Amino acid sequence: MKILDVLQKEAILVDLKAKDKKGVLEELVTPVAHIAGINHKDLVRVLMDREQLGSTGIGKGIGIPHGKIKGLESLILGFGLSRKGIDFESIDGRLTHIFFLLVTPENSTGLHLKLLAKISKILKNDSFREGLLNAIDSDEIYAIIKEEDKENF
């Protein structure tokens, strides 16, 4: 599976407006909940509950909020870009700009972990992160991810 197998263009937000963690999650969830046919508030609650266990702000300006939803048919991914950056309680204390939102069915732990690992791995590439940060629109972000996401897992 590739990232673009589960990331639809409609779920790519290139100019997040939120100024805090909950606001970013609510923004990221909007297209994902619509695409997946799941309740927006329930998904935000699942993600906020996960954040209570420890921030999914992994440093270097990256956040990978994730959670599992009962009754979800398949894995779904969202992407968001905060131009100004927000305090996502990142492990390095820096503002977070790049967000990958991962939502998986309750019973898909293996796939969930594989996709988290793949996203984390490609985000270690400095030029990939820079490309995302400088992207103008969702088409450009989609193309950047497609180029980086050639390898299956």
Annotated catalytic residues are 66
* DSSP H/E element including 43: helix 40-53
| Residue 114 burial by Cβ neighbours in a 10 Å radius (0-12, 13-18, 19+) | middle
Please count the other Cβ atoms lying within 10 Å of the Cβ belonging to residue 122: 16
* DSSP H/E element including 83: strand 76-86
Nearby residues of 146 by Cβ (< 8 Å), 6 or more positions away: 4
